[in-house]
Amino acid sequence: MADTESYEVYAIRYAYRSERKRHENFIVNAWTDPVHDDVEPIAYYVWALRNQNRTIVIDTGFSKKESDNRTEESGGIWRCDHECAPAEGLASIGIDSRQVSDVIITHLHYDHAGTLVDFPSARFHLQEFEIQYATGPHMANSYFSGAYTVEHILQVVRYIFQDRVVFHKGDSEVAPGVTVHHIGGHTMGMQCVRVMTERGWVVLASDASHFYANFESNAPFPIVYNVSDMVKGFDRLRRLAQSPRHVIPGHDPLVTSRYALVSPSAPYHAVRLDVEPVSE
């Protein structure tokens, strides 16, 4: 393994749902959780790692068109504020998506694997289990397939034929100081990203833990392939990170309040994760 390098780490929020309910975020018993119908917003992020040698993007989010399609298909039940194109959010911190050479896709759900075409120079890093799952028999069941978008999966298949997909099987190094780790649970091929920073090992959980409360309270998220693996994954996240404070959940709005904005005057919510949080 090459010498470990350190990175700046950014989270860029590109969409936000303010009307989501708590029971959509946690598997709870309505009889024992008196707040199961309370509002619990959800945020959507892409992430970026950067040092003097390379830039790596993690996930590619979804487009305004995808957002509009899902609102229409749900009869208006699902709706969000699509704040910016993921590539536009990256550009706000000086990253040109057209020049990015490596993109890690944590899993292939619509909110993590859309806008792939905005990264024309990239290789996409994916767990083997994820493409097996997303093109396998589970997709005949709408519970498992609902968070996937067929066109996104077809695009990945096209990139496989163009030799632009790097498959990983389990734990693997993507670059010095950047590793991926198969977690499972949320999807068959769910992976998290571990990155060295000036404050130690930070783990970008993505949907291995949507919210801080998922892994802090061992409370599973309702969209899940294997609940047991999801709960075991919470322990894995804690072991991989420098400390529990170094685990960054994939959808928690608290991320943009716990960490400092890159620029308070910028039009988008981008925060630095490689520095200590400004609040707990």
Question: What are the residue ranges spanned by the domains of the chain?
Answer: 8-259
Res 30: pLDDT: 44
CATH code for the domain defined by 8-259: 3.60.15.10
For residue 30, the SS3 value is coil
List, in sequence order, the alpha helices (H) in 52-127: 64-73, 86-91
The DSSP symbol for 39 reads B
- Per-residue model confidence (pLDDT) at position 26: 65
CB 271 within 8 A of CB 46: no
What local confidence, expressed as pLDDT, does residue 74 receive?
86
Per-residue pLDDT tens digits for 235-278: 999 999 999 999 999 999 999 999 999 987 776 799 999 999 99
Name which of 68, 58, 62 is nearest 155 in CA terms. 62
pLDDT of residue 31: 46
**The model scores a pTM over 0.85:** yes
Model pLDDT, residue 28? 65
Q: Do 101 and 54 contact (CB within 8 A), yes or no?
A: yes
> What CA–CA distances, in Å, run from 213 to 44, 128, 174, 247?
16, 29, 29, 12
pLDDT recorded at residue 279: 85
Averaged pLDDT, groups of 10, the chain, 280 residues long: 86 89 61 59 97 98 96 88 96 97 99 98 99 98 97 99 99 98 99 98 98 92 95 98 98 96 82 93
Given this model, what pLDDT does residue 280 score?
A: 78
Dist CA 247 CA 199 (whole Å): 12
Sign of the CA dihedral running 13, 120, 124, 240: negative
